[in-house]
Structure formats: C-alpha cells, structure tokens
C-alpha cells in the first residue's frame, strides 16, 4: 500500500513538472516567434532630452518656410558621398523587377527642393518605365506646406511620382509623428536621405534608430551626413574627434555601412557621409546609452545648442586612417565590401583599390568625379 502510494505520488509529480516545463518551453518559443523586436533605444530617453526636443521643435514650427540659408534642399540632388541619387534609385528598381511602387524619404527636407528635383528627373528619364510609381516623402519642422494642422500636402508630379510634403513634423519623435497622421511607413522605404539635418537634432541617435525601422528589410538604405556625437569623455568634442566617434558608432551597429569624408564640410560635425543598409528584418541594435542633454553655449553655427551626451561601451578604432584624412584629388571610402560594390555598379568613378584593414572593414580609394 505504502509502496503504491509512493509510486503514484512520484508519477504525479513527474507529470506536473513535465507539463509545466512544456508550458514554459512553449511560452519561450511563442515569445521568440511572435514578439517582434522593437526599436527601444529612443524610448529610454531621459526626460530632459525629450524636453529639449520639444523645445527645439517649438522654435522651428513658428516658421512657414524653411529659412536655413543655402540649405533648403537642392533640385540637383544632395550629392552625399558624391553619389547620384537617380542612379541609386535606378539600381534599386533594377534589383526589384517584381515591384512597381518605390518609396523615398528626405528627413529634414528644407523647402522640399530635393523631392521636387528628383521627381522632375524621374519623369524625364525614359529608362524608368511609366508604370513605376515613386512615392517621395519629405519631412520638416516648419509648417506652411498647405493643409490643416499638420501642414501636409500630397500631389502628383508628372505620371510617375507622388509627392508628400509633411510639415510641422517632429522628426525626433518619428514613430509618434507618423502615428498622429495615421500613416504606417514602417518597413516601407527603399531609400532614405538626409542632409544637414541630423546635425541640428537634439537626439540624433534616437532619431536614426527610428528612421532605420522605416527601411524595407533586406535592401533598404539610408544615405546621410554625420552629426555631433558627444560621448561621456568628450563633452565638447571637436572634429576630427567627432569623425572618430561617428566611425566607432557606425562600426557598433553591426550592419553594412560605407563612409567617406563629405569633401565640402569635413571640418564640421556633419563632415562624414555614410550609407547604411538594413540587411534583415531586425531593428537596429544600439549598444549605447543616454547620459543626458544640456544647453551648450559654445558658439558654432553648425548645430543647435541643445545637445545630448551618450555612453559608448566599446571603441573599435583609436584613430582615423591617415589616407582618409589626407585626400587630395580622390575620396577614400571605407566599409562593407558588398555595399561598396553595389554602389560601384552604377558609379563608374567608384574604383576598387582594396587593402585589408582591421575588423570587418575594407579599404577603397576612388577618384572623385569632378
């Protein structure tokens, strides 16, 4: 009798524990399969940072046009990394014969001249078939673009392009600003550009994290210039320290990137141009953390005075490559080999001259097409 009781209790305990183990396993697996990884870095923003973001936005939103001097978008393209945006677009279209709709976003669009200019070129270009539709989005803090409280306007330009100019757009709260407008653009964009804008943002890294989520997985690219990247040990960093910080930041992202000096603005915080690709459907993993934001009283026209300091846990490079800094009639491009080759396919002035460097990077040098 006692033996039987012992036997039954043993079987009972075994059944319960294996059932709970199975449930635990199922739950873990379920969360692996069904919980999408969220872009969470920007959600850990200190309150002070968000306060400054609101404050920077409020100071721009009173304008009904973008009065940033010469930087208001260019009809002839931004020329970041000396690249021709229309050639990049054609490459993207060529890579996706299964699609008819393509999406481009300009972050910090000035007076939207970039999208208007690109639309004109697209419509004129017979190599871009007339059944292709290009959706061009531009976002900016200023209002005055047309309709209602959000100051948005959408219009057809020729028969291949639809332009969406979004004004009063708080770019640093990218997800929230899109949600407010009931537009879902996550995983949508083939090509995001941004020139001379992140340098004005209070939290450029939190903004970049969100922008990356708008890229179409597997192939979406961002082409932009650098920003002021303040780390824990350099509260008043100067170029070229900023370039080195940017470089280390790009390496820390663990996604394909290529970078080069911008050529015209290399002694400013926007002095690095880079392209990053979203090679998979994961969000980007930011290994940094926020320290806080403060008002920097240094007089420098290149950035707003509200800045954020971050912790970068790991340094990949201690100095910038010599050749990188001393270009004369050529530009050195460093970074991911296949991304470089993808760009080089359509830019004959991008010549490979490879020397192996440390870690995952390669070294290229190509003459500038002047």
Ligand X SMILES: C[S@@+](CC[C@H](N)C(=O)[O-])C[C@H]1O[C@@H](n2cnc3c(N)ncnc32)[C@H](O)[C@@H]1O
Contact residues for ligand X, defined by CB under 6 A: 56-57, 60, 66, 68, 71-74, 108-110, 140-142, 170-172, 195-197, 200-201
**Minimum distance, C-beta of residue 145 to ligand X, in the bound complex (Å):** 11
Enter the DSSP assignment of 154: E
**Minimum distance, C-beta of residue 94 to ligand X, in the bound complex (Å):** 27
Residue closer to ligand X (CB basis): 113 or 333: 113
Cβ atoms < 10 Å from Cβ of 133: 15
Measured on CA atoms in the order 99, 216, 71, 138, is the torsion positive or negative?
Answer: positive
**Minimum distance, C-beta of residue 107 to ligand X, in the bound complex (Å):** 8
d(Cα 233, Cα 239) in Å, to the nearest integer? 15
Residue closer to ligand X (CB basis): 75 or 233: 75
**Minimum distance, C-beta of residue 200 to ligand X, in the bound complex (Å):** 4
Q: Which helix (H) or strand (E) segment is 58 a member of?
A: helix 47-61
Identify whether the C-beta of residue 343 lies closer than 8 Å to the C-beta of residue 350: yes
Radius of gyration of the chain (CA): 24
Identify whether the C-beta of residue 230 lies closer than 8 Å to the C-beta of residue 310: yes
Residue closer to ligand X (CB basis): 179 or 357: 179
The helix/strand/coil state of 289 is strand
Q: Phi and psi of 145, rounded to 5°?
A: -90, -15
d(Cα 336, Cα 351) in Å, to the nearest integer? 14
Residue closer to ligand X (CB basis): 166 or 312: 166
**Minimum distance, C-beta of residue 120 to ligand X, in the bound complex (Å):** 17
Please, what's the b/e burial string for 194-213 (b: 16 or more CB within 10 A of its CB; e: otherwise)? bbbbbbbbbbbbbbbbbbbb
Residue closer to ligand X (CB basis): 144 or 321: 144
**Minimum distance, C-beta of residue 211 to ligand X, in the bound complex (Å):** 12
Residue closer to ligand X (CB basis): 128 or 202: 202
Q: Which of 137, 107, 131 is nearest to 119 (CA)?
A: 137
d(Cα 266, Cα 351) in Å, to the nearest integer? 22
Residue closer to ligand X (CB basis): 197 or 226: 197
d(Cα 158, Cα 213) in Å, to the nearest integer? 29
Q: Is the peptide bond before 34 cis (omega within 30 degrees of 0)?
A: no
Residue closer to ligand X (CB basis): 108 or 271: 108
d(Cα 226, Cα 229) in Å, to the nearest integer? 8
**Minimum distance, C-beta of residue 111 to ligand X, in the bound complex (Å):** 8
**Minimum distance, C-beta of residue 296 to ligand X, in the bound complex (Å):** 15
């Amino acid at each position: 009798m006692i033996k039987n009781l012992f036997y039954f209790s043993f079987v009972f305990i075994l059944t319960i524990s294996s059932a709970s183990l199975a449930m635990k396993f199922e739950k873990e697996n379920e969360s692996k399969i069904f919980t999408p990884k969220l872009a969470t870095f920007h959600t850990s923003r200190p309150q002070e940072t968000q306060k400054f973001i609101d404050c920077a936005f409020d100071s721009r939103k009173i304008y009904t046009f973008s009065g940033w001097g010469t930087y208001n978008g260019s009809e002839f393209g931004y020329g970041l990394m000396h690249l021709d945006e229309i050639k990049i677009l054609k490459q993207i279209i060529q890579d996706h014969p299964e699609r008819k709709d393509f999406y481009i976003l300009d972050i910090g669009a000035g007076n939207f001249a970039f999208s208007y200019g690109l639309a004109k070129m697209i419509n004129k270009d017979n190599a871009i078939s007339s059944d292709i539709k290009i959706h061009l989005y531009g976002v900016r803090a200023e209002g005055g673009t047309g309709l209602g409280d959000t100051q948005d306007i959408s219009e057809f330009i020729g028969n291949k392009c639809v332009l969406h100019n979004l004004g009063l757009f708080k770019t640093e709260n990218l997800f929230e600003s899109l949600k407010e407008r009931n537009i879902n653009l996550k995983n949508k964009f083939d090509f995001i550009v941004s020139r001379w804008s992140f340098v004005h943002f209070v939290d450029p890294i939190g903004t970049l994290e969100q922008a990356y989520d708008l890229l179409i997985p597997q192939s979406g690219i961002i082409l932009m210039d650098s920003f002021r990247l303040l780390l824990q040990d350099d509260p008043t960093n100067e170029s070229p320290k900023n370039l080195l910080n940017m470089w280390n930041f790009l390496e820390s992202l663990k996604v394909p990137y290529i970078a080069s000096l911008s050529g015209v603005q290399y002694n400013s915080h926007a002095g690095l141009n880079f392209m990053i690709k979203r090679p998979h459907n994961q969000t980007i993993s930011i290994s940094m953390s926020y320290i806080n934001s403060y008002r920097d009283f240094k007089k420098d026209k290149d950035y707003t005075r509200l800045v954020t300091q971050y912790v970068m846990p790991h340094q990949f490079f201690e100095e910038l490559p010599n050749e990188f800094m001393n270009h004369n009639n050529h530009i050195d491009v460093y970074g991911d080999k296949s991304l470089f080759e993808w760009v080089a396919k359509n830019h004959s002035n991008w010549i490979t001259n490879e020397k192996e460097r440390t870690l995952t990077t390669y070294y290229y040098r190509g003459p500038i097409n002047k």
